[in-house]
Amino acid sequence: MTTLSATKARTNLTHWLKRAAKGEDVGILCGDQVIALRPVKVFSEDFDYAKREYGVTDAELEAFVKRTDREIVRARKAGRIRRFTGDLDASLRR
């Protein structure tokens, strides 16, 4: 494992994150502990993740999803947001 001080890791953090993402063991010293950098898979559609991560109930999560869906529909109708077509340059020109 490559172990770094917080100062050294901070100066080139992107480099170390990329190495950890490729599977290399990278750790950062925090006091007398080594904190490992590891990739984590997160699925936004995974409601169990949302409940576990944010501590919400089923009812709270369902209310949030419904409210957010309504806000998206209103914003699209008002022209504040558009569906992304995959062409970033075209989207930025608008």
Give tens-digit pLDDT for 44-56.
666 787 788 888 8
* Whole-structure pTM value: 0.47
Quick one: 45 and 74 in the same domain? yes
Does a structural domain hold residue 93? no
Quick one: 33 and 57 in the same domain? no
Does a structural domain hold residue 6? yes
Domain that includes residue 75, residue range: 41-82
Quick one: 21 and 52 in the same domain? no
Question: What per-residue confidence (pLDDT) applies to 13?
Answer: 94
Quick one: 16 and 32 in the same domain? yes
Instruction: Please state, in angstroms and rounded to a whole number, the distance separating the CA atoms of residues 73 and 94.
Output: 20
How many domains does the chain fold into? 2
Q: What is the DSSP letter of 34?
A: E
Quick one: 47 and 77 in the same domain? yes
Backbone angles phi, psi at 22, to 5 degrees: -85, 0
